[in-house]
Structure 1
């Protein structure tokens, strides 16, 4: 059976048509999950006439052992937000020093990722905004659900999950985390996101930066940008 989309740009154009009820609204921001979500989100932001940026989620890890293993204490987000798992912290009874070290390491890693992927400039303020979170597809909705948690802490008023292709199970799980879930293709025998595309090539850091720069030029800058980049 033919894939529903030839490539990510076509998928983004199709997805944008399902989001036209948000077009031209001044309170809408489009955020892409890197890397594959960026070419899709570029087309969505262009059609909606909305600012485009990234949603990056970095795990906060604590090493335990022996044997050495890493425990996830929470998630650090860009735009700036922190969501910690209180039950895990209480169970581990971590010292403030240990938690501080884990947070410092996560912040360094997040800064490195942001600098590699963004062309610079202030991060968007999400306070009171309707945020459309875009990926190129999802099998289980894990990355999108993690993003939802940190984006709410960043001040988003409401969240829309937007994907060209997804499994029914992923969409069901996303519905509990997002006010709206938009998907164009829901294959009955979903195997992977790859199956949704005729061409599914890797997206390089340079392509992400280029698309963000083009989106910024088209939109004329992100309104409400006030948080310095990490």
Structure 2
């Protein structure tokens, strides 16, 4: 990654974080953001499917249609989970915590991977390294002392909080690898070029798409006091 690309990525990341903060503060920004994210992500996913299932036979047409329907349904569920979580005061901090884990997981993977390099994690994504994966966990776990101060009344104990961070970071990495797998099958580098330095919107939120919903499920049924 060149300095120019890194600068673009940094500026885009800052703007996305500002948008995320505004979404937590203003409902109309949240609704507009979720609609745009869902629509753009679905369009990008549809383009990937078109490249993967490009044959005109019945089998490929069926798989493409099924994948598009399921992805649209999932994006709607994803958006609803975020909307209702942010709308409720007792869950707003939790969803912020999950977003922070995903952001730190991505940053940790990028920074540790670039600095330490080393053995590749998988053939699915040549840029992913074992050191980057470890860095994702380490930087995500750095959030525990900060959020434990505010979430200690919700969580049973510190160990469950650490466990949640590890699981969410793992889910974030799996989501990232899944989209990387689809891009590899479609023979494209990015899902689009809408975000300078990042590629497509789907490239930016791939980990969140898996980590946020399942993180909320784990939080509500296994971690929080009822």
How does the TM-score come out when normalised to structure 2? 0.29
Greater strand proportion: 1
| TM-score computed with the length of structure 1 as normaliser | 0.28
